[in-house]
Every structure is written in C-alpha cells, then in structure tokens.
Structure 1
C-alpha cells in the first residue's frame, strides 16, 4: 500500500494531466453527440473515463495496464450494446466460440470508436509533456473548435471556454511540477500550505472567468478569410437562386440539401428542403418597438412555391423622395402608432427592397443623406423597391424610416362578419388565387378546422392555432416522406413538420380556400437585443432599443386582409410570435385619449432561428467564481482587520497611531472581550485592580493577564520607547488568553 501511494505521489502531475485531457475530450464528445449514435457516444465516454481511472489509480507496469484497459473497453462496449438492446443473445449459439463470434459482430462498429478515442487519450498524455507542447495542444484544439463554430451551424463557445479552462489548469500543473523538480526543498515547504496554493489558483481562475463573461461584445474589425473568400466568389451575396450551398438561399430555409444556409431568398418558386442556421449579422435596427422587418410580398401560389413573375410590373409605383410622405391605402378602422427606425446594414448583400416595420410612411434618409435616388414605393404591396431599373446602385449602408404601426382592435374585429368586412370592397382576385388542381383535402381540412369559427377573424385564428399546435418546428424536415406534388398538401398530410415557409404558405392557402384574402410576406424576425450595460440599465428612463438581425432571423409569415381594418400579420410558425400592437379593450370606461392606448408587443419566445447562440458560461460556473472571489475578499479583510481598525482610528485622529497607542487600543479590545465573557470591571476599579481580582477568580488565565497588564502599563506610563513588535506581542498574548478561556469552559 505504501509503495502504491508513493508511486501515486511521484506521478501526480501525469494524473492531473490526464484529468485535464479528459475535460478536453469531453468537449469533442459534446461536439459529436448530435452526429454519433447515442450508444457510440456512451461507449467512447465510458471508455475514456475508465482509461483515466486505471491510469491514475493502478500504477502497474505499462503492459499490464494496457491489457486491463483493453479488457475493460471490451466489457464496456458489450454492456452498452446490451443495455441499448442492440445485442440480443442468439439462442442457437451454444458453444463459447459461437457466442464470441455473435457478440463481435455487434461490437465491431463501436469497439473501434472506443479504442481509437482511448488511444488518442493515451498518446496525447504521453506526447504533451512540456509547457511548449501544452500550449501547442491547447491552441490546436481551440482553433479547431473555433473553426467548427464559425463554419458550421453548431455553437461551440462553451466547449472553447472549457478547453481554455483545462489549458490553464494544465499549465498550472506543469508549472508546479517544474517547481518540484528544480526546487525540491521549496516544494516541501510549499506543501505545508496547500490551502493557500489552491486559493490563489482559484482566485486567478475566477477573475479570468468573470472578466471573460462580462466583456462586451465586440464585432470583428476584419472579415474572416472564409467569408471574404465567399464574397469574392459571389457566394456571400444573395444570388436570387435557391442553389445548393448558397449562403442566402431561402427565407429561413434552404434547398433539399442540408448544406444550404438560412438567409433572405430572392427566388421562391420552389419552397422546401432543409437548411443550416447561419448567424452572420445582416443589420442592426434601432427601434422603440420590437417589430418584424418586412421585405416583399407574394400573391401567386403555384403549388410548389410563389411565382409572381410579373411582380416588378405591378403598379402603380412612385419614386420615393426622402423626407416626404408615401401614398397609403388608408385602413379607416384602425389607429396607428408612429415608429422611427434606423437601420445599419452589416454585410455586402444586395436586396431588392428596404426593410421596415409595416407600414412605412416615409424614408427620412439614405446613407445619412436627406436625398437619394433609386428607391420606389408600391402602395398596393407596401414595398420599398430598390434599384428597379437595374442601374446597379449600391445598396444603402444605412437608412432611416418612419412607419405607422397599426393598432389592432381585436375584440371589435372578432365580431365582424364576412359581409361587414368584404361587402363592397374592391379587392384583386389574386389575393384569393389558388391553382386549379389545388388538393380538395386541403380545402376540406380548412373547413373542418374552422367549423366553430363564426367570423373571418375567428376562422383565421383557428387556422393559426391548428398549425402552431399540430406540427413541430424543424429546419431539416425529412422530405423523403413527401409524395404529393403540392407543397402545402405534402406538408399537412405527409411531412407534418417544417419551418416558417411551410407554415406561412399553408395558412395563406387555407385562408384563401375559405374566401379570406391573404398574401405571403417575407423579411426578418426582430432579432436579438444585446444586454444593456449595468451603468445604463440603472439610469431612469433608459431603454434598450437596439436589435441585431442575422441570417438566422430570415422569416416568412402571412398577412390577412380584413376590409377597412387593412392587412394584419398572422404568425403560424411555432415558437414565433408576431409583435402586434392591440387596443386595450378590457377597460369599460376610458377617456378618449386612453382609448388609443396600446398593449406593447409580446416578446417572441426564443427559438432555434432566433436564439442568441453566443458564448454563455454556465450559471453555476459564474456563481462558483463569485463565491471564490467573495470568500477571498472576506479572508483578506479579516486578515488585515487590525490595520483597517487602526486606519479608521487614524482617520478620526487625523494622524497615524503610534505603537504605544496601538498597545492601548489592543488592551481596550481584550478588556471588552473579558466583559463579554462575564468578567466584570467595576467603575471605581483601575485596570490593575480588575486584573488582580480576575486572576484570583480564574487562576488559569492569571499569567496571560499579568503579561498583558505589564505591557499596557509600559506603553501607558513608561518613558521607554514602544516598538511595533510590542503591540504585536499584545495581540499574540491576547489570542492566547482567548484560547485559554474557551478551553476552560
């Protein structure tokens, strides 16, 4: 046992290094977890954990350890495939050889993963044996994880953080090992104060964690090489094609190949397929309201998508003059709220429209100037069209808009019948258009869903509720399940999962099948708000009105027409919530001014398409760091409490305390302690008289009291010079006095 313990102490640095390696390995397992089968992940993790335990706690010869580890891995894989139900014993295998052959057939795919990962762990442990190699190893892991985070849809900032943490711990371990080898006597002395070593390391780690967590987000000054290469080859810009691999191929969607990324699409002829989320920033918006940034609308549903071939010719169209009001089709039954928006574009994408809250009433500036050309307004679709005449104008880098956001009187609108809403309204038939071969079962489903609805608004709400609650959201639907030639029919009856394009198109077409006018809209969800700095958040009236929109926020939704109430956005996608303004109709008696009060838009739940996937350290890590720093602060304050007390007295007196004054102060302190312990001092007694009486009452403390009295009288009455060591002696003797009193209870 002693030999084992000595070997363990001698090789402690390798054991600690294996621990840090295990943490780094876990980060890679976290990355592969969505890719690997569950049993593969379990086999690899269990194998690595077992290898680490054997290497640390069983310090036998290498060849024996390797044999033990191989046997352990085989057993682990066997247990895992049995527990997952992958391996079921063959009743016809009667001999041992037959059973082993039967087991090996099922184990082979998993055993190689476990053995390979274990070999990498052991090789890394053997090779990474110096400070330089540790830095190289950690650096390569961080670069690899950062590259995967940048160029895939998987967010790996937490894995990077843990790798940095493990690297710091590994470097500390290597430093201590180097100190042990070069200064063995100093190492022995250092081991006498383990708590001090651990505390100092914990303080440094805690400071690094807290500083890292609270650092403000800073956008890169230089474009990363991969993005620059994409833009150079024209991949980073919207090409107007739903091409496999195009960065901005669909409105929150992509082609059928899953290496397509999210973004704003210019071609909606063929919807569907899967995509990866692209969190590249597109624009920032300064707005007092959280709004959908509306882009274009589509009317003609083809059965596979939206094919408005003549949309650029639809009129009337007017050229926009900055600062002047745009012509509006007034919805006479709704009030509006004026909203200013400042948009800053963050990439080089070329869009055919300017984005803004519905409905834009004026363009206040383009690129910071009050004048600009190339912008047109189409009132019928409420679209701000850019560069319609193809003069290849650069898309504005900044623009300011004013919108009149409608305030929806929900209760009033709910009661309006079909005749009240649409009788006498001259509305284009294109808003009710459906293909001639539109599947009858989709129409029947719409009738069934809305059977309980009495009015168009109620029927629309029932369609919205059905779509949101029936089908799960996914950015990678399994399109192999679809055989229908109609996009909506395949979604509702075969695919039964999807993203915004599926839900919005389904709602528009089903509403049209009920003779409710609707159109398809695409743009961007509101994006995310950066956290407001604490100093601003504490200011009265401070508001966080900045939003960052990324390609992952590209979105599509429906707009339904309700006669004199105009076009109203309807969000059918699960997890999204269109931030509508609604009238406060619950209060029966209100002033005329109060009737225009609005309910603020409800924040949408964070979804996969909207979630900020930035770097978040676990809350428990932050709390642990705070506890460590707080404990250290309390310890340091306690350690220097006398200096603080003397400093306070110095501030009161206006000059530093002399050593004899410190002795007097310490004497007053131990006298107060005795009073708290029941050793009372009469008012007429001097300190000497009280000490004599206390010594008689408690002989065990007589020597301590005598020494303290002598030092006090020397400081108070003697002409001898008192030094700092004298008052420190008073402090030390007072501690002995306290210990004696506590021990005699």
Structure 2
C-alpha cells in the first residue's frame, strides 16, 4: 500500500492533468477542420481513462470500463432501440466485419463512420497509455511535447485553424511538466531530497519562469515573417509541396470526402479504367444533396443499402416514356480497383462475372459490387445496357415548376436545400441572371452560360480555400473566380436552388480519351479514363423529363442531345423510340459487345513479369516504402532492446543441451555477452584476472568457477564427464545478470 500512496500524490495528479490538457490540444482542431462532432464525448473518455490510471484500478477493470464506454458512445451515435437489446450489436459487428474487409483491401477512404469512431477511441486509449508510460515510468515528455508543437504549427500554417492560443497553452504546459519531471528524476536518483520545502523552492521559481516567459512572449514585438506565405516558398522548391483543401496539396482523382472543398490539385495520369462504348458519356459514381457552405455531405447515412442481382432491373429509373432514347451497350475494363462501379446515366442493366450482385445506396446512388458471401467484390470488367436520350426543345421549354403539386414536398425540399448562412448576394446574382427567362430549362442554361464569361478562369493549382466564416460558393463567385469543376458545379447547383429549381451535385468521370476505333460501320470506341478525368457536374430536375445533366465548368462541354425537328403525335406528346428488334434483349447486346470487342490485343495480352513488377511498383510504392520504414523501425527497436531479450535467447539456446562439448561454446558466448553488457576484457588481461573482476562486479564466485573449468578444457583438451550439466546453472546465473 505504501507504494500506491507514494504514486497517488499531488505530483501524480498534476502530471495526469497536464497530460490530459496536452491531448486536448490535439482534439481542439478536429471540430473545426473535420466532420467530427460531439468532441465532449471523447474528452469524457479521456477523463475516464486518466482517472482509472490515477486510481490504479486493475488493468482488467480499466479495460472493461473503457470498452463499455466505447460501446455505449457508438450506440448513442449511430443506433436506435434499447442499449441492452442484442439487435444493434449484430449490426455493429456486421459493420466491423465489413470494414475489416476494407482494411485488408487497403480501402481506408470507404470506412464507415461507426468504424472510424471506434478507431478514434482506440487511438485515444493508446495515447493515454503512452502519456502514462512517459510521465510516470520514463519521467520524460519532450518528444510528445515537440510533436504537439509541430502538429499545431502545421495546422496553423496550412489550414484555416488559428493556433495562437494552442501554441501558448502547449508551451506553458510543456515547460511546466518538463520542470516537474526533472525534479522527480533528481529525487529518484538521490541527487535531491524529496521534502516539501525543497519542492516548494523548486516549483515556485519554475512557475515564475514559465509565467514570465509566456508574458514576455505575448508582450514583445513580433518580427515580420520572412515568407509572406509559406506555400509559395515550399512550391518553389518542390512542385508537389503546398497547401490544399484542409491541409495539403492533393493529387487529382476520385475521392469520397467532399465536406471541405477547395485548394489546389496536382495532375495524375494514372489509368483508372478503359471503356468500350458506342458513344461518349459521363461516368457517374454518386451524387450528394446537402450543401453546407464548405462542401457537400449526404442528407442520410444508409447502413448497407438495397441489394439487386444482375437479372434485376437497374435500380435507378430510366427516362420517361415521352423522351426518345437509343439503346447502347458499353463495357468497362478496370485498371484501378475502387469498391464501387462507374455507370452511364440511363443504365438499364449491368452484367459482371458469375455470382456477383450489387448494393445500391438510394441516397448517394453509389453502387458497390458484392460477392455471394456478402463481401466487397473486386471486378476486372463489367458491362452495361443503357439508353442515350434525345430531348425535344418544346418539351424542355414546357418542363418548368408551374405545377409543383405533382412533385413530393420532401423531394422539393431536399434538392432546393441551402444553408442559412448563404450570403444574400449569391441569391441576388442568380435572380439577376435568370430574371428574363421564362422556364426552368432556360434559367438553368442561363446560369450554365454565365460561367463561360471571361471573368472566370479554370485552374487546378491557384485555387483558394475559404476561411472559417467564408462561404465556398460566395468566395468563388465574387472574390477569386478561379477554380476547377468543384467550384463551377457547386456554384451552379447553389444558384439554381436559390431560385427554387431542384438541382444536385454529381461526381464521377468524363469520357476520357479515345484510343481506338471500331472497324467498318462499327461505332464502338475504346476510351481511356485516368485520374485527370475525375469530374463533378450538375443535374437539374425538370418535371416530366427527369434529371438533365448540365456542364458549367469552363472548357468542358455538355453531351446532352436536343432533337429540334422530331415529329410529335396528335396528342402533342413525343412518342417513345422503338428499339430495333435485334436489340430487344439486353443480354444479346452484352454478348455481341463481348464478341466484337475492339480492345487492341496488346491490352489483352498477358503482361511480362517485368512489366507487372513495374506497374506494381508504380501503384504500390507508397505502401512498400511504408512497410520498409516499419520494418526498419521495428528492426531498430528490437536491436536497441537486445539487452533485454538476448540473454533469454542465449539461455534457451543452450538450455536443452547435455553434451559437454557445449561448455566451450557457452563460455565464449558468455564472454561476448559480458562485453555487450559493458564489462569488456582488457587487451592482455588473463582469463583468471578477468574472472576476478567479474566476480567483484557481481559480488559472486561463479565466474571464477567457470573460468577454472574452461582453463582445464583449454589446456587439457578434455573435460570430466557431466561438466556442462554441473556448470550450466552457474553459466545461466551470469547470463541473467546481464539483463538490462
């Protein structure tokens, strides 16, 4: 009990409090820079973890309390029903199993919020353990203190987070805890007496020094920065350096987190897929419906989704009967495996290898392939049957919002949603642009055409990030007028919604670059789509016509077809196109597409081992470098701790040997281990003299006895039978004394 009382004192409480405050500094920016909410829940977990360690509860009890809290927090965040009811646990463990599959597949971006929350709790658990180990066992905290300073400094420099207060608090806490730990180390080493008088004499000057330093730092005049902006300075050294989005310049390509848009991109010509199709079209991945003022999120998080098989109709409804369509086929060949598929608008049927089904998210319209055992599937290729629409101009002009009664209220509210903080001048601009237009289509075209003016510039690098209180669209429309597809498309959706026209934001890819053409009369072409072709655009809802794509991004063109000269029937409605009889079966078109595949043979041929290795290195070099770094770090750690584990290995190595010949080898091994321990034998020193030195150092006579036997073996070349068994215990005792 005395030991516990010694540990549970004022110094321990103070150290744990400072450790808690330092970790808190890591959490503060998360509420501002990420989607993480309810930070107080994680702070309560930290309080529980530190309190359990402070009161020295048994490890089993600590683990139970923390685990129970994690389960309860996850339940309150994401599940419904009674906490003690087993139904939600089944959903929870299914979610964990699904995410473990993503983890093994290194698809970290697709982790669900439930799994991310659990991982974050585990990270905090680990940080509390490390703080406890550094503070109470090692009496050192400088590394964590330095990491905290660097973390805050980087966020303050490259993001919208203002870290002035955090830097001051961290410096004060860091110097305070390092002063306390220095005092405790000196007391433990016997260099200082640990009485209360000396503690007061030590702590009062320490507190005064920290307070005085902080006050001088705040009051002293600040020199002007050497670099007006660190980003251009870094970019002058390396094109890949800089700031983008929420903290670093990104490489262009499809991503999942659109909650904070902005910042520059670097080009990336990595091939994502190749498409064999009869016409050019955009390749959809998902839509998002809630604009936050900083980016896009989903209005609802769907657990799992709705499943459908290859024999079922595509879950996204086709075009209305009054829209003329032409049925076409396409096939996609995957180079970069994402957990979702890409598909053209108007898809009616999708076909993949046998046994694969699909999971459809009705909110985002993202579709994932699934194996029969309900695990994500990796596809090499898949095909589509889809309709290509051709709209009549009269239908477009009559499709407006004059009769909203037929449109569900929740649908209209969902796709005209805007944040209350949207500046009024955005609404005023949209109203001004469309004031002379008579219908929704003309208004949408007016907004689309507005971005084609010379005022706007398409640029992927010199793109600003909105400040904390600045709206993303407002900044683009009135301040910078420079950006890429996300800026243009988000601005158009926002402007249309502000005047009451339902619109949504769509992500995917453009059609890419045509690489080969079909022979003769064939219309099929092979398109190569790279990360550079990742794109976002706008879809506007027109009654009786459905969702129409619009392309506001400067330099991109809309592929919508408008049939001006088409006849109408007596009712004034446009008749639906009648498909060719030979194309009446969608599966037949997929089969013919497979038979007449125009992909060049060199794309189909098996790549050489050298080429495969080159592609693997190109795609996976980051993971290889990370694995190599981990291996080196683990190897260095094991080597640095050899004083702890090597003696046990040596004992195990000779433990089961009964042959007397092992005595000579074991003795030489002992000499090497003593040398590693620091008891080096001097040059010219006799074994007997060295043995006396070892016995005096360890206060034993074991080394002398072993050396006498070894000299007998050395000069007589023989040992009495059973020598090793008699001396093994002496040898093991000396080996154990070298454990450090």
Instruction: Give TM-score scaled by structure 2 length.
Output: 0.42
Compare CA radii of gyration and give the structure with the larger one.
Answer: 1
Instruction: Give TM-score scaled by structure 1 length.
Output: 0.42
